[in-house]
A and B are shown apart, each in its own frame.
Chain A
Amino acid sequence: MLEAFANGFSGLLAGFSHLQLTNVVMIVVGCTLLYLGIKKDFEPLLLVPIGFGCILVNIPLADLMEPHGFLRTIYDAGIMTELFPLLIFVGIGAMTDFSPVLENPVTLLLGAAGQFGIFLTLGLALALGFNEMDSVAIGVIGACDGPTAIYVTSQYAPHLLGAVSVAAYSYMSLVPIIQPPIMRALTTEKERIVVMKATRKSVSRTTRILFPVIITIIGGIIAPKGLPLLGTIMLGNLMRECGTVERLTKASANEIANVVTLLLGISIGATMDGKIFLQTQTLIVLALGFIAICLDTACGVLLGKVLYVTTKGKINPLIGAAGISAFPMSARVVMKEGQKYNKKNYLLMHAMGANAAGQIGSVIAAAVMLSVLKGMGII
């Protein structure tokens, strides 16, 4: 009888005896993510489930990420199959109004410049000794686009998924802190005070409907390996613009996006097992992700400066910083920064154009990257 009691108690104490320092550190990391999401309002829809998933997976003996564990089941069903990021993309397409890009298509160039960080960081990662596919996954943090980063990393460097996802979402929420110093460093006060004319050019409904269809066909033919990314975001946008499938649009933008966001977040958190996550490599990935977003911002502003010169001072180079995918946060940062130097300067609509272009740009950059890799025979 006493032995049975002792065995029973040992079952209750086994968790404590198996608790390792790495688990404790990661539980603290999970709590920090919860704090950032709940108290600081940094991307709470993602950081709360990620933080909680991180805590869950670091509690010993629960075996949640072992075969048939509930987190493993969600992970295999949605991340390994690439389904979750793609469903999120349908929702993003259904939520995003691409009118500012359609009104001023030149902003797509700013969206392209905002992707330079991906390729420059890829080179940096290679120089630091990462292999080709790890470097691709690290570079894609520079897309500043969570679902794209998850899509690419889950396919080609799944061991980096936790670090890449946390970096992508954390830095996206830190855009208001990261971008302004770079914008100030690269522009003169004369450039920052440029007032851009309001250019409200309406776009026909036919153009709005044809845009996602034609972009999918052309983009898909140029970069077929990225068609799932491009196709899903454009499907969402087509549903939004055609106006005949309102129920599907609403479901994609709300119910489906919400359910998938929850499952995606908890699955990412589940990859943050202390034994795997607490390595020097993770810190380097986080640092490179930060550099990627700084480079995106710098390249966007520099292209903005080129446009400032070529248009003889009609374009405010600050809007170049919005050519990343952090929508609409980056556009708001540009608006705020512009108003610091000229209170009557309303850059928001122009910056929104660059920001929406950045969303398309990040998807295209990832699609092109995957197709180039395929062309080189690496994937």
Chain B
Amino acid sequence: MDKWTFGVTMLVVGMGGTMLTLGIMSVIIALLKKVFPYKKEAEEKS
């Protein structure tokens, strides 16, 4: 594999993969917050 192909692959797949992974993680966090919402009293007891 030549350096040009390597560099472009790393930029596109690497950066794209990073954005995608972090995007998935932000969706997971949003879902977790929906499924387990903050309840003041319960949190204070724990």
Contact = CB atoms under 8 A, between A and B. Distances in A.
A201 B15 CA distance: 30
Contact of A210 (B18, B24, B32, B38): B32
A201 B23 CA distance: 20
Interface residues of A, number: 48
A37 B8 CA distance: 38
Interface string A308-322: 000000000000000
Contact of B15 (A106, A119, A204): A119
Which secondary structure dominates chain B's binding surface?
helix
Interface in B14-44: 14-15, 17-19, 21-30, 32-33, 36-40, 42-43
Contacts, number: 122
A207 B32 contact: yes
Contacts of B18: 112, 115, 361, 364-365, 368
Contact of B30 (A105, A357, A373): A105
Interface majority SS (helix, strand, loop, mixed), chain A = helix
Interface of B: 1, 3-4, 6-11, 13-15, 17-19, 21-30, 32-33, 36-40, 42-43, 46
Interface of A: 101-102, 105-106, 108-109, 111-112, 115-116, 118-120, 122-123, 126-127, 132, 135-136, 139, 201-207, 210-211, 214-215, 218-219, 222-223, 357, 360-361, 364-365, 368-369, 371-373, 376, 378
